[in-house]
Amino acid sequence: MTTVPLTATPLNLADYETLARGLMEPATWDYFAGGSGDELTLQANSEAFRRLRLRPRVMADEDQVGTATTVLGTPIELPVLVAPTAYHGLVHRDAECATAAGAGDAGTIMVVSLNSNRTLEEVAAAATRPVWFQLYLTPDRAADEEMVRRAEDAGFAALVLTVDRPVYGAREKDVRNGFRLPDHLRAGNFGGTRDLRAKSWSSWAALDWLVQATRLPVLVKGVLTGEDALLAVQQGAAAVIVSNHGGRQLDGALAGIEALPGVVASVDGRCEVYCDGGVRRGVDVLKALALGARAVLVGRPAIWGLAVNGAAGVTAVLELLRGELERDLTLCGRCRVADIDRSFVTSIPEVP
């Protein structure tokens, strides 16, 4: 598992995807690329963006295009964060440490998965920018509290509670492949291997407990309805992430971009809203911002960049999105991401 010299510069994220697939073992590729069931939601995540069209304005008053923004008050250079994904050691020897460094070099935030190959302390030490920590809560309160304390002590800036995995999704490719961590890798935060099917706590009491247990802001990831987003805010969430777990949980669920407008309307400015799932172009970022997202998250593309060229590959993937976003902002007649609003996007009329 090594990086490869690039004979041609990848022009987009699809190029990185092709290169990464050629470097990964088939079962590893299926683990990262696959979804649940018939993968309807996995496909919908990308298809939903294609049903949206932009309404560009012309003759912008300024020449300087800017993609910088803030998330929970933290400045970032582009409104794209790295989503939590498990076991980066499957594609690169430096694992999550390289991903964190690559995200930092691009001027943005990585959300580090609880299920990482490097310990949360190692990843925090490798990061050059603030990092957030994603976790699941279990019936073992003592173990959960220990993980929270470790994240606080390591310097993480926020906690991201994933709430859409009370049970494991029907990831049939992994079952057929008999997927498991290879012997040379470990679940870094648990001192050994861990059951990938481990059940997480699935009641709203989990959020209430976590908000009370930490001094860090808590984000809720895995919300697809305005009703649940409002409950999360009422129980102390600092932000919500509209997500269907990359199409890996409930097959047939809404795409994130489809659910986003309803969530934004329900929270009505009470908290920041982010969105993930299917973002592959700068224009996808632009559409999500127009529908009310503060920022988006990308998971698989960061893995592709990591597989191809380590930390530099992660940075390159994010820089491609930034370059596309700068161009598309200009073509929409706006110079800053804050200038994009709902008026810039419309949906394709459905054919009766």
Length of the chain: 352
Query: Residue 337: what pLDDT?
Result: 93
Average pLDDT taken over every residue of the chain: 93
Alpha carbon distance 210, 144 (integer Å): 9
Average pLDDT over residues 309-338: 95
Model confidence pLDDT, tens digit, residues 249-305: 999 999 999 999 999 999 999 999 999 999 999 999 999 999 999 999 999 999 999
Q: Are residues 86 and 295 in contact, defined by beta-carbon separation less than 8 angstroms?
A: no
- Dihedral sign (CA 73, 78, 79, 82): negative
Alpha carbon distance 84, 297 (integer Å): 9
Token couple for 254 = 């809404």
Query: Residue 196: what pLDDT?
Result: 45
User: Which amino acid, one-letter code, is at 11?
Assistant: L
Q: Which residue has the higher pLDDT, 193 or 17?
A: 17
Alpha carbon distance 171, 117 (integer Å): 21
Query: Residue 193: what pLDDT?
Result: 46
Reply yes or no on whether the pLDDT at 7 is more than 80.
no
User: Which amino acid, one-letter code, is at 15?
Assistant: D
Query: Residue 190: what pLDDT?
Result: 84
Reply yes or no on whether the pLDDT at 350 is more than 90.
no
Average pLDDT over residues 71-82: 98
Average pLDDT over residues 333-338: 89
> Residue 321's pLDDT band (boundaries 50, 70, 90)?
very high
Model confidence pLDDT, tens digit, residues 12-21: 999 999 999 9
Model confidence pLDDT, tens digit, residues 171-182: 999 999 999 999
Query: Residue 2: what pLDDT?
Result: 45
Q: Which entry of 88, 92, 184, 245 is annotated as an active-site residue?
A: 245
Angle at 254 between CA 178 and CA 14, to 5 degrees: 65
- Among the residue ranges 89-103, 176-190, 196-210, the one predicted with the least confidence is 196-210
Average pLDDT over residues 73-92: 98
> Residue 214's pLDDT band (boundaries 50, 70, 90)?
very high
List of residues 6+ apart from 201 with CB closer than 8 A: 136, 137, 138, 139, 166
Query: Residue 167: what pLDDT?
Result: 87
Model confidence pLDDT, tens digit, residues 227-238: 999 999 999 999
Query: Residue 197: what pLDDT?
Result: 47
The question of whether 184 is a catalytic residue gets the answer no
What CATH number is given for 13-341 in this structure?
A: 3.20.20.70
Of 269, 203, 202, the closest CA to residue 230 belongs to 269
Share of the chain above pLDDT 90, in %: 83
DSSP string, 304-339: HHHHHHHHHHHHHHHHHHHHHHHHHHHHTT-SBGGG
CA distances from 139 to 120, 151, 202 (A): 21, 19, 10
> Residue 248's pLDDT band (boundaries 50, 70, 90)?
very high
Per-domain boundaries in the chain: 13-341
Query: Residue 61: what pLDDT?
Result: 63
Alpha carbon distance 39, 44 (integer Å): 9
Query: Residue 234: what pLDDT?
Result: 96
Query: Residue 335: what pLDDT?
Result: 83
Of 128, 23, 129, 126, the closest CA to residue 71 belongs to 129
Query: Residue 51: what pLDDT?
Result: 95
List of residues 6+ apart from 5 with CB closer than 8 A: none
Average pLDDT over residues 33-47: 97
Reply yes or no on whether the pLDDT at 1 is more than 50.
no
Reply yes or no on whether the pLDDT at 60 is more than 80.
no
Which residues are registered as beta bridge partners of 239? 219, 272
Query: Residue 141: what pLDDT?
Result: 87
Share of the chain above pLDDT 70, in %: 92
Query: Residue 235: what pLDDT?
Result: 95
